[in-house]
Amino acid sequence: MRTLDWIVLLSSLISIVAYGLYRSRGSSTVDRYLLAGRTMPWYAMGLSIMATQASAITFISTTGQSYTDGMRFVQAYFGLPIAMVVVCATVVPAFHHARVFTAYEYLEKRFDSKTRTLASLIFLAQRGLSAGLTIYAPAIVLSVLLGWPERVTTTLMGATVISYTVMGGIKAVTWSDVQQMGVILLGLVVALITVFVLLPHSVSIGDAVYLAGAAGRLNAVTTNFAWNDQFNLWSGLFGSTFLFLSYFGCDQSQVQRYLTGKSVSESRIGLLFNAVAKIPMQFFVLFIGAMVFVFYLFNSPPLLFQRVELERIQASPDYAAIEQDYQRGVEHRRQAALNLARAHREGAADRSADPTLVTEYRAAEREVDTARTKAAALVPRMGGEEGFRDTNYIFLSFVIRYLPPGLVGLVIAVVFAATMSASSGEINSLATVTVIDLYRRYVRPKASDHHQVIAARWATLFWGVYAVAFAGWGKRLGSLIVAVNVVGSLFYGSLLGCFVIAFALKKVRGTATFIGMIAGEAAIFWAFLHGGISYLWFNVIGCAVVVGVALLVTAVWPERTDQPAGA
């Protein structure tokens, strides 16, 4: 990174923190500290929700995902608008009218304290695990690409997040999210324009899109169905609807965003804004990855983008042959791409030439892909990571190598912004659940407002330090980082089942729901351990088992009418 990059990076970070703190003045009561006094406008909520969802690793991975696998990942968001409509129609008014701080507080009003506590603990376990990984995952990428020590990166990001989250509470989190979202969008637009500018003069934007499509990188909708296929139209419409219902209906890191709304309408519009904007945004990010793929058709890409692992496999006796095959494949592909682009431009004159050229182009692409697969397989054989994939390194490696000074700093600022927005939301929600659902419920039920604010600040500091410490320990977790999304899905299904019962099945009461949740968790873990099912389906399975078992228990063993506290 050059001086200009540092100036852009540091000024972006400082302005984000300063703006967040400026907008958070007066967060002196627990209602203001944790829920911004329920005064937030819809656009701040909507942008904050989007920013919290977009962690750095999602952003880095998504571009790499479309480079290697095409744009079909966008289908994982098809369930989002459906889930948003359901959440707006049911959950949002219920939570607002119940005047709760957390989603789990509502469960005690509806069921009993043990169901609330179990749900809170499931949330703390799941979100606590991902809080550390949210900071660690981009740190490892920056460490490999820029040579920055992981501990320095995690500490810098962690300290920044902790400072404004502890001081300003949810208001600082939300307003800094708004600015972070601005940095992210600016960075994305600039990155796409730069990719287009860097294409060879003989290749137009139309040619580039055509070449990406011919290589199968613009497969935004795929209708083939398989249980173990993560991204297709069906898993997107059904599996991801359940995932987003869980995320927005039961995960405090999202619920807390829309509880800050000054009215039910503001919260609903904030969520519906997310429903409308998210798919185009993901499409845009994936499209950048597809265009980076086209860029590398004409600029020889490294055999592996992760340079540490590339250096490692160079010691293997098989490396030279793989590298030779790869370079040959890259040259074939470049020539085939140029021929195809030319034919595409002159397409009207000689359309019949295309099929042969497309076949040639795809064969060359397979050559390149085969060499890369062989190189990736060498990594564990040479003592590297098992199941190695370098998807996360593709986009940033391109940025660092090809973007002009200033823009590199801007894209690194995007990575920092995305990390901080996701992390601050997590830390803030973990602190809220700790204080409201555990501390205030069991330790100090009569604590003063001031005492609760102090407790919330300490809890925020605790979870922030925990996240940084956990991130420092992250290296030892190895491939668990890859599985962070899967880990989330291990817990969401049973939480969703619990809330489905709370809103839709009035006859089912606390004990039956509690037993259903335990059975739901057991079913999800059974499905996970036996493999063969995409993680998006875990939410469906967990939810169905919780509801089914709770209904069965209610039928066999009807409970007397409970009178839960606070009902």
Q: Which stretch binds another protein (CB under 8 A): 171-179, 215-223, 359-367, 415-423?
A: 215-223
Tokens standing for 445? Answer: 């039920």
- Residue 257 makes CB contacts below 8 A (sequence gap 6+) with 45, 48, 49, 52, 174, 270, 425
Enclosing H/E stretch for 213: helix 205-214
Among positions 96, 116, 127, 333, the unique one binding another protein when judged by CB under 8 A? 96
Q: Does 83 bind another protein (CB under 8 A)?
A: no
For another protein, how many residues bind (rule: CB under 8 A)? 38
Among positions 68, 113, 155, 222, the unique one binding another protein when judged by CB under 8 A? 222
Enclosing H/E stretch for 287: helix 264-298
- Residue 318 makes CB contacts below 8 A (sequence gap 6+) with 374, 378
Task: Return the number of the residue (35 or 403) whose C-beta is nearest another protein.
Answer: 35
**Closest by Cα among 397, 529, 505, 544 to 111:** 505
**Closest by Cα among 508, 510, 493, 502 to 545:** 493
Name which of residues 57 to 76 contact another protein (CB under 8 A): 74
Residue with tokens 């968001």, as numbered in its chain = 77
Among positions 6, 58, 93, 353, the unique one binding another protein when judged by CB under 8 A? 93
In whole angstroms, the minimum distance from the beta carbon of 536 to another protein comes to 17
Task: Return the number of the residue (158 or 236) whose C-beta is nearest another protein.
Answer: 236
- Residue 234 makes CB contacts below 8 A (sequence gap 6+) with 223, 225
Q: Does 219 bind another protein (CB under 8 A)?
A: yes
Among positions 59, 67, 78, 305, the unique one binding another protein when judged by CB under 8 A? 78
Tokens standing for 273? Answer: 């804004």
Among positions 228, 263, 324, 335, the unique one binding another protein when judged by CB under 8 A? 263
Phi, psi angle pair for 216, to nearest 5°: 75, 20
3-state secondary structure of 101: coil
**Closest by Cα among 419, 395, 421 to 408:** 395
Name which of residues 11 to 50 contact another protein (CB under 8 A): 31, 38
Residue 567, Cβ density class (10 Å: 0-12 exposed, 13-18 middle, ≥19 buried): exposed
Q: Which stretch binds another protein (CB under 8 A): 11-19, 77-85, 349-357, 552-560?
A: 77-85
Q: Does 548 bind another protein (CB under 8 A)?
A: no
Q: Which stretch binds another protein (CB under 8 A): 89-97, 151-159, 242-250, 313-321?
A: 89-97
Q: Does 283 bind another protein (CB under 8 A)?
A: yes
3-state secondary structure of 40: strand
Q: Which stretch binds another protein (CB under 8 A): 112-120, 180-188, 271-279, 363-371?
A: 271-279
3-state secondary structure of 261: strand
Q: Which stretch binds another protein (CB under 8 A): 175-183, 209-217, 454-462, 490-498?
A: 209-217
* Site residues (vs another protein, CB under 8 A): 31, 38, 74, 78, 81-82, 84-85, 88-89, 93, 96-97, 99, 209-210, 212-214, 216, 218-222, 233, 262-265, 268-269, 272, 275-276, 279-280, 283
